[in-house]
Amino acid sequence: MSGAVPPEDIRLRIRSNPRLLSAVRGLVRGYLDNLGLDAEQRDTVVLAVDEACANAIRHACQGRHDASIDLRLRTDPDAIVIELEDQSLPADAHRLAPRDLTPPSEAEPKPGGLGVQFIRQAFDDVAYHSEPHGGNRLTMRLHHPLDRTLRAQKEDEGDSTHGLAHRER
């Protein structure tokens, strides 16, 4: 981590086409490389983001390829934060219920729930929010203590970051 330079935060809008996921993986991999994650952890996070996007396409966008998904990559002082938003119908609550966050049984592995399992494995905190009339947001946080230099840089950028966030609204 020492000497690593914080990358700019990234916001990307993609069509809900599974064939675009390899490009998303490449972007996330590059972002995490700049943060100095080791290869094993980086690949686990990339897989989790891939699964989150695939789940959004499958469940929220119901397989449509013409919906939009917004991906945001950013760093907080103590965490890497990756957010996924779509404006589709709320995902089936049953698919995101706690039972699906339980790892599939070792004795009887099932295809369902594997993606959620990867997400839970890769991130420390996962939060899902849906709007009743459409829109889903998945926020995934990986605790990642940045060194003092990075913390200082983030604090210095605080004002301009707030300004950017305001303008983006």
The footprint of another protein (CB under 8 A) covers 18-19, 21-22, 25, 40, 43-44, 47, 50-51, 54, 58, 103-104, 106, 109-111, 114-115, 117-118, 121
Minimum distance of another protein from residue 66's CB (angstroms): 17
Query: Is residue 129 classed exposed, middle or buried when 0-12, 13-18 and 19+ CB atoms within 10 A define those classes?
Result: exposed
| Cβ distance to another protein smaller for residue 14 or 21 | 21
Q: Which helix (H) or strand (E) holds 164?
A: helix 158-168
Nearer Cβ to another protein (119/150): 119
Q: How far apart are CA 155 and CA 70, in angstroms?
A: 26
Write down the least CB distance from residue 104 to another protein, Å. Answer: 7
Smallest separation, CB 28 to another protein (Å): 13
35 phi/psi in degrees, rounded to 5: -90, -5
Partners of residue 69 on adjacent β-strands = 14, 86
Report the helix count and the strand count for the chain, using DSSP H and E.
Answer: 6, 5
Sole residue written with tokens 């996962």: 126
Specify the residue, 38 or 168, whose C-beta has the smaller distance to another protein: 38
At closest approach, how far in Å is the CB of 160 from another protein? 37
Q: Which CB atom, from 5 or from 114, has the smaller least distance to another protein?
A: 114
